[in-house]
Amino acid sequence: MDLILYFLVIELGNLRLSTATPLADVGWFVLGLLMLAGLSVLVLWWSRRGRRDPFV
């Protein structure tokens, strides 16, 4: 039974502080998310703006 459970365990890897993600990589990731969110808002705004009927 222990052998079956061993294969179901998810190994998280080495969690020592020396293997942590550098702060610069986290910063670029956050910057990328903010850019993606900003572009999404811009596209939604542009789409909503384009559907307005000018004759109403």
Residue linked to tokens 């542009």 = 46
**Within a domain: 31:** yes
Q: Which domain holds residue 31?
A: 22-56
Q: Quickly state the pLDDT bin for 48 (edges 50, 70, 90).
A: confident
**Within a domain: 16:** no
Domain total of the chain: 1
Q: Which two tokens stand for residue 14?
A: 């080495």
Whether the model pTM is above 0.85: no
> Using one digit for the tens of pLDDT, what is the confidence trace for 1-25?
566 666 666 666 655 555 556 888 8
Q: Quickly state the pLDDT bin for 49 (edges 50, 70, 90).
A: confident
